[in-house]
Structure 1
């Protein structure tokens, strides 16, 4: 009984502290807000002196030695052992690792402080602090009072500011950021990418009316399996009001379609259902977006939404009722040319234009949710998206607290992007080793994802047990019975053997579902040339891709696409060959200076052939 009580208390603690508010405001770009980006002062605190006392007990909120409290002495006798100054400042959004040489490999705690004024506080409004992402744990304080804490390095969160706390002059916002890896975190201790720390995405002060449109969901109703959308497609969804009042009216309008519908809400979540005549469907060839206006008596939100259907039907993936082959590439949220975390529209355009030049119609955003600028831009450019939470390798699948952390990140990812037409796959993880415990864990995530959004496909990148003596490699992971697309990572010719192993390799799965190669690739140091047998040469990587692409000609008829690993070289402390890696994963088709490797042109040519074939078959 004591153990059960202890376990229940743990779950309550997780819910009330780590995920203190369940009111994520979506489409933040459409809200009335003030940017808090720019220069923030910081204190490096590897011993966490500003958070714990010398007995390693969390400091009381009023303790003057706590780093969230003012650093200005009230008089000359007051002892202050911390201080913020412009001498020590960092740019937000941005990781700390690339901004200061001493932080190149730093993992630990930094305190950020931003002072700001509010021109005029509207006493009829409510105010929120919004963060696009902070890696990994964020404790947020305003004017010495704690607003809350969030765990998870790649998803957005916000906290409401108590009415009496915000001032017109002299506000100071302090954020304790801790990016230390943990055995019971998501992701866990071991990853194959660099753990960039900091306030890595936008920070905003958001103003809302007392009752406001917190979230909404508007997509086409999924047709019967194998059927194209109707001539007058049915849209459905909901609008969620914060501080809902009985009888509140919600008006949905799409001016270009001359469409307007008024619905009276019966509770805080108002269901929507209506037909949309003369609708142009969103697709990579025609990424049509409509201006959608959602309004109440006190609030208006404007968005650009594309309408399309996506589903797995037997052995095919159907976009708007028609089979599609996904010409993909995996992308890390990193700008290797500048050795930093990617942030904002400019970085998104750099990464996505490289994918488009390769000939892609799809990107796998690995291994975590990327900046929202990426998914907004994939909507406008017409690139399909696989979006993933960092349930990666061997996390603690037996720990209920870890499962709740994964579900929280899954919910935040889906909530932020559930109106993005380009997002077609929610992925619940990558290369998780098979066991009954792991399968129950992953199945729970899949069930959660389908409950949150039934309009998209669910998948995960599965591992492969390669056939030792036989030519047939079978993807029979028990998780395959729950996903919509059977996706797998394979590296024949890089991890074990040489690329010519592909000549005798064949692939199958016992599941009557679409089959997708979610990763394949080989390292090559850009500019290093040798014969094709020399590892880490561009010629070896080129040979690898030649054999892989020849193998794809023998794939079964449920093969629906591929997203090779990876678009760009990226930082990874696991990769320590002193000649060819030097702390970089070199599987990119672009090197860390932005130069194309020889394998780029092979894949580009293959994608051109596939595109021409698909155009002939239309």
Structure 2
């Protein structure tokens, strides 16, 4: 697997491998292990063997087995796979014609969770993690004419995984995002970063990485609208630059993006990039030097209308337009990196973004392999999205229990995040506050490591009555901004009753009304992302006729119908004096 993932595939010559893939459901992993649990070779499914004579014994056949659509999860495509966790083999045949003086990359936007990839019966490599891209240089593995890719996909939850065994969202399995063959020159622009200088916003600085470059190779950076062009030269494959410029800064009210062109002697890449600054000052968040209140909502990568995992631009836009109608200028993309499409569409629409990795609940904090997995997912998330001005917060964790090993793990993770990207703020969502009667104190040691403190607090749902929330007072051990990263209650859309009757829209609305009163009295509050935009599937939710495998804390139903709380939150956001 290539160590540096190619940046901005939308600017590349791509061949889509989306569509129907042949599949084999393999709960015993019979295509990978023999009956003694040794690795198969000749009879392994990735060989894609065919009968050559009537007496041949081959006990599998991709071409006569099930089909699944890629991108997509298997759980909602086939009823028998709704709860399935295990291995499914995917196969795609395609014709290929070689080009001279070029390389070909096989690029997966995401596969959940563990994948092993084979091309024409030979192993290319493996990847762990369900929400970040990976690629292979397949130039020397492709043949003229028909080729076939086989991917062993395993979505089994693991105690030492990221996320771990226990989670509150659906473990959608499959090749959940798009697959591409990407043609690039032998020497190509593999990565780049452009940002406003943190100390002086009159400068744009960055770097361009060239795969296969010779030292001294020229790289040209152009921003036509600003009438800027600069030539720099590579050292060890990297060309650094600094341009004096005064771009209009990206804001939610004016999400300005500039056309940027990067050229090497054999390659050219275009991107749309915005420039802005983000920092904290005491308990305030400053965007481009001005205080901003983040009017947000949390969003899962759950497709509207009961379709499963989000797999299309159209589904992203439905969710984003609901958030826009709510009055948001900010979204928390929980609890894992969402698709590149989601990030780019949100940026164009003027949403600031909180992006996070699934270090969630009971992680194996003492396990070094678990930490390495978390670091890989963090660095892959940052690498893919570092040029998106909309992202202002990298989150390293959600609702992790306090403890020495956890604190060490997350301190090291925040250090890794800052090393990978010093231009953004670091956060985490905490739920370990100290209750002192009618007062709640933020004392979690993780608060010392992050720039912005996220707080998950479910007053009125998991503790207290809705009316008990309004008068709660908050104190903060840290002179840092706080975002109320989760607050809310469950309601079945269409179920009505008294305000003290659980699961009714009225109860959910009462929780919102009283928590909004509470939030208005928190002087160090810089924003909120209530839980959550839309109802989403979760195997933890067993209450039939109410939950029916859905977490009902959405303020919109999975069928797109708004609940009363939607309008309560919208009114709160309309009342805020926001400086964009």
Give the TM-score of the pair, scaled to structure 1: 0.92
1:162 Cα offset (Å): 4.7
Partner SS state of residue 559, structure 2: coil
Partner SS state of residue 467, structure 1: strand
How many angstroms apart in 2 are the aligned matches of 1:345 and 1:152? 22
Matched, 1:182 2:148: no
> Could you tell me whether the CA contact under 8 Å between 2:304 and 2:315 is conserved in 1?
no
1:87 Cα offset (Å): 5.2
Match of 1:523 in 2: 490
Match of 1:305 in 2: 273
Matched, 1:241 2:218: no
Matched, 1:550 2:526: no
Match of 1:102 in 2: 80
> Could you tell me whether the CA contact under 8 Å between 2:492 and 2:547 is conserved in 1?
yes
Deviations 1:200-239 (A, max 9, x none): 001000111111111001111113xxxxx64xx2111111
**Long gaps (5+) in structure 2:** none
The farther-off stretch of 79-88 and 191-200 is: 79-88
> Could you tell me whether the CA contact under 8 Å between 1:336 and 1:571 is conserved in 2?
no
Deviations 1:178-198 (A, max 9, x none): 000000100000000010000
Following superposition of structure 1 onto structure 2, how do residues 70-81 of structure 1 map, counting pairs within 5 Å?
Answer: 70-81=48-59
Match of 1:361 in 2: 329
Following superposition of structure 1 onto structure 2, how do residues 160-171 of structure 1 map, counting pairs within 5 Å?
Answer: 160-163=137-140, 165-171=141-147
Query: 1:571 pairs with 537, 557, 577, which one?
Result: 537
The farther-off stretch of 236-245 and 82-91 is: 82-91
- Aligned residue pairs, count: 580
Following superposition of structure 1 onto structure 2, how do residues 323-334 of structure 1 map, counting pairs within 5 Å?
Answer: 323-334=291-302
> Could you tell me whether the CA contact under 8 Å between 1:97 and 1:106 is conserved in 2?
yes
| Structure 1 residues 157 and 247: alpha-carbon distance in aligned structure 2, compared to 1, 3 A threshold | same
Deviations 1:439-470 (A, max 9, x none): 110111111111111100010001133415x2
Following superposition of structure 1 onto structure 2, how do residues 317-466 of structure 1 map, counting pairs within 5 Å?
Answer: 317-466=285-434
Match of 1:265 in 2: 234
How many angstroms apart in 2 are the aligned matches of 1:428 and 1:59? 39
How many angstroms apart in 1 are the aligned matches of 2:287 and 2:409? 30
Deviations 1:581-615 (A, max 9, x none): 111100000012110000110000010001xx235
Match of 1:126 in 2: 103
> Could you tell me whether the CA contact under 8 Å between 2:509 and 2:565 is conserved in 1?
yes
**Long gaps (5+) in structure 1:** 1-19, 224-228
How many angstroms apart in 1 are the aligned matches of 2:430 and 2:459? 15
Partner SS state of residue 95, structure 1: coil
Matched, 1:486 2:462: no
The farther-off stretch of 517-526 and 502-511 is: 502-511
Partner SS state of residue 504, structure 1: coil
How many angstroms apart in 1 are the aligned matches of 2:569 and 2:55? 69
Matched, 1:252 2:221: yes
Match of 2:548 in 1: 582
Match of 1:275 in 2: 244
Following superposition of structure 1 onto structure 2, how do residues 1-12 of structure 1 map, counting pairs within 5 Å?
Answer: none
Match of 1:10 in 2: none
The farther-off stretch of 183-192 and 508-517 is: 508-517
How many angstroms apart in 2 are the aligned matches of 1:353 and 1:189? 33
How many angstroms apart in 2 are the aligned matches of 1:605 and 1:97? 37
How many angstroms apart in 1 are the aligned matches of 2:366 and 2:161? 12
Give the TM-score of the pair, scaled to structure 2: 0.98
| Structure 1 residues 560 and 340: alpha-carbon distance in aligned structure 2, compared to 1, 3 A threshold | same
1:246 Cα offset (Å): 1.5
Partner SS state of residue 259, structure 2: strand
Query: 2:34 pairs with 53, 60, 67, which one?
Result: 53
Partner SS state of residue 500, structure 1: helix
How many angstroms apart in 2 are the aligned matches of 1:416 and 1:580? 39
How many angstroms apart in 1 are the aligned matches of 2:222 and 2:470? 56
Match of 2:557 in 1: 591
Matched, 1:202 2:178: yes
How many angstroms apart in 2 are the aligned matches of 1:378 and 1:139? 32
How many angstroms apart in 2 are the aligned matches of 1:75 and 1:319? 70
1:37 Cα offset (Å): 0.4
Partner SS state of residue 470, structure 2: helix
Matched, 1:222 2:198: yes
Match of 1:293 in 2: 261
The farther-off stretch of 593-602 and 572-581 is: 572-581
Partner SS state of residue 373, structure 1: helix
1:71 Cα offset (Å): 2.9
| Structure 1 residues 80 and 462: alpha-carbon distance in aligned structure 2, compared to 1, 3 A threshold | same
How many angstroms apart in 1 are the aligned matches of 2:432 and 2:500? 25
Partner SS state of residue 550, structure 1: helix
Which aligned segments of 4 or more residues in structure 1 are displaced greater than 6 angstroms?
none
How many angstroms apart in 1 are the aligned matches of 2:64 and 2:510? 52
1:506 Cα offset (Å): 0.9
How many angstroms apart in 2 are the aligned matches of 1:360 and 1:71? 54
How many angstroms apart in 2 are the aligned matches of 1:344 and 1:522? 29
How many angstroms apart in 2 are the aligned matches of 1:501 and 1:536? 18
How many angstroms apart in 1 are the aligned matches of 2:519 and 2:445? 24
RMSD: 1.2
> Could you tell me whether the CA contact under 8 Å between 2:192 and 2:207 is conserved in 1?
yes
Deviations 1:328-348 (A, max 9, x none): 000000114123100231111
